[in-house]
């Protein structure tokens, strides 16, 4: 079954704990946490302190998406804060195997994420070592942007490679996911759908999560 990962970037930060409890009860599978540093992306969001503060609000895995330069420096801090999965951008990791090993050494799952303009072939040397591939379906930095369709070919390619070579990574997609775009992603091979605006901008979050799940399988 398709997994849904609400992105708290679109939540009300003045009551983040309640927002997370709401989507946890509403059937979410992961909580997606967007960390931005104002360098790799033109926005600043949150760090390990907030991850630690929200940790008691859910038993779901915290899926921490690092949109930061020099992620190696902060992996330990996010592990201590309670992160379960960390994804790092290929574009900022010149020593990708070392970074992935650092994440695994802290008993977390490790993923790699690529921007819409980064070729999927750049991931070939690391695919056997990772738990998750995150395909950005918008340019990272902000919620509420439009889905970029050319990214679908990368999802398909990753699904083919894991069938062909027996890799075990999950495929996650992030950006512009809603009831109109969910199905083209799952048809291409995506397992996990991140959604910010399509969940937190709705009054009834459990219903919004279910609507995306239904749209994904129709
Ligand atoms: C974008 C973030 C996304 C964002 C998705 O840089 O990585 O996780 O919150 O937001 P929506 O679903 O509104 O496109
Ligand atoms: Zn994200």
Which CATH number goes with the domain that contains 124? Answer: 3.20.20.70
* Cβ of 9 below 6 Å from ligand 1: yes
Per the structure, the count of domains in the chain is 1
Could you tell me the sign of the dihedral formed by the alpha carbons of 138, 144, 146, 152, in that order?
positive
Q: Is 140 in the pocket of ligand 1 (CB under 6 A)?
A: yes
What pLDDT is stored for residue 218 in this prediction?
A: 75
Cα–Cα distance, 98 to 108 (Å, whole number)? 14
Name beta bridge partners: 64.
33, 86
Task: Walk along the chain (218 residues) in steps of 10 and give the mean pLDDT of each run.
Answer: 97 98 98 98 98 98 99 98 99 98 98 98 98 98 98 98 98 98 98 98 98 94
* Cα atoms in the 13 Å half-sphere on the side-chain side of 185: 32
Q: Would you state the pLDDT for residue 114?
A: 99
Q: According to the model, what pLDDT value does residue 139 have?
A: 98
pLDDT at site 38: 98
Q: Which of 29, 34, 37, 131 is catalytic?
A: 34
Neighbouring CB atoms inside 10 A of 144's CB total: 13
Query: Does the C-beta of 54 come closer than 6 Å to ligand 1?
Result: no
Phi and psi of 86, rounded to 5°?
-125, 130
Give backbone dihedrals phi and psi of 38, rounded to 5 degrees, phi first: 75, 5
Mutational test site, ligand 1, from 86, 88, 138, 185, max ligand atoms within 8 Å of CB: 138
Note down the domain range covering 206.
Answer: 3-217
């Amino acid at each position: 079954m398709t997994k849904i990962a609400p992105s708290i970037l679109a939540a009300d930060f003045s009551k983040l704990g309640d927002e997370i409890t709401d989507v946890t009860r509403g059937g979410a599978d992961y909580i997606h946490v967007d960390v931005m540093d104002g360098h790799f992306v033109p926005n600043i969001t949150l760090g390990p302190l907030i991850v630690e503060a929200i940790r008691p609000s859910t038993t779901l895995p915290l899926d921490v998406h690092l949109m930061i330069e020099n992620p190696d420096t902060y992996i330990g801090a996010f592990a201590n804060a309670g992160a379960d999965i960390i994804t790092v951008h290929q574009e900022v990791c010149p020593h990708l195997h070392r970074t992935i090993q650092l994440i695994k050494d802290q008993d977390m799952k490790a993923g790699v994420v690529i921007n819409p303009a980064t070729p999927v072939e750049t991931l070939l040397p690391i695919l056997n070592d990772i738990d998750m591939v995150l395909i950005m379906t918008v340019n990272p930095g902000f919620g509420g942007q439009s889905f970029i369709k050319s990214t679908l070919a990368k999802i398909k390619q990753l699904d083919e490679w894991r069938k062909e070579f027996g890799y075990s990574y999950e495929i996650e997609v992030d950006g512009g996911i809603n009831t109109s775009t969910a199905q083209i992603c799952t048809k291409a091979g995506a397992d996990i759908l991140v959604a910010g605006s399509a969940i937190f901008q709705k009054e009834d979050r459990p219903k919004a999560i279910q609507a995306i799940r239904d749209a994904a399988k129709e």
